């Protein structure tokens, strides 16, 4: 699937340095920053630096280096948050809201890392 990318979206503007963010980590291929409206004690967004609309766009069109770099950055943030259960952390949840059904607000791929408390079941009962 080829998506058209709107480079006026807010995360593109953060990547260009036009608006500030509360940076957690920056690597060659990824930027991580605190969500402006946190829904848990830990709520970090990780975005690739490349212009990808969502996860399927990224998985299909990104280079291997971008895919590895993005995923390693997610791992580094989880380590920074001391959230990995194997390291005594409480655990965490990764979320990538996509499109209309996923209720995606910002059309640049972002993975939410949520943690710091027990988050409850993933979805409410189907309606």
Report the interface residues with ligand AMP, using CB under 6 A: 10, 21, 33, 35-37, 45, 97, 103-106
Local structure of 18: helix, strand or coil:
coil
Direct distance between the N- and C-terminal alpha carbons of the chain, in angstroms, rounded to an integer: 30
Report d(CA 8, CA 40) in Å as an integer: 28
Complex with ligand AMP: residue 20 or 88, whichever CB lies closer = 20
Least Å distance between CB 95 and ligand AMP?
7
Residue 64 vs 105, nearer CB to ligand AMP = 105
In this complex, which beta carbon is closest to ligand AMP, that of residue 23 or of residue 65? 23
**Residue tagged active-site, from 29, 42, 108, 110:** 110
Element spanning 93, H or E: strand 92-95
């Amino acid at each position: 699937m080829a998506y058209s990318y709107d480079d006026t979206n807010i995360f593109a503007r953060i990547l260009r340095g036009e608006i500030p963010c509360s940076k957690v980590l920056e690597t060659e291929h990824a930027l991580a920053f605190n969500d402006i409206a946190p829904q848990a004690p830990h709520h970090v967004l990780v975005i690739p630096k490349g212009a990808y609309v969502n996860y399927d766009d990224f998985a299909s069109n990104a280079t291997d280096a971008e895919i590895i770099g993005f995923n390693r950055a997610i791992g580094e943030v989880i380590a920074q948050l001391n959230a990995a259960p194997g390291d005594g952390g409480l655990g965490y949840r990764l979320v990538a809201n996509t499109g209309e059904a996923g209720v995606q607000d910002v059309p640049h791929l972002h993975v939410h890392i949520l943690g710091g408390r027990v988050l409850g079941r993933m979805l409410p009962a189907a309606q």
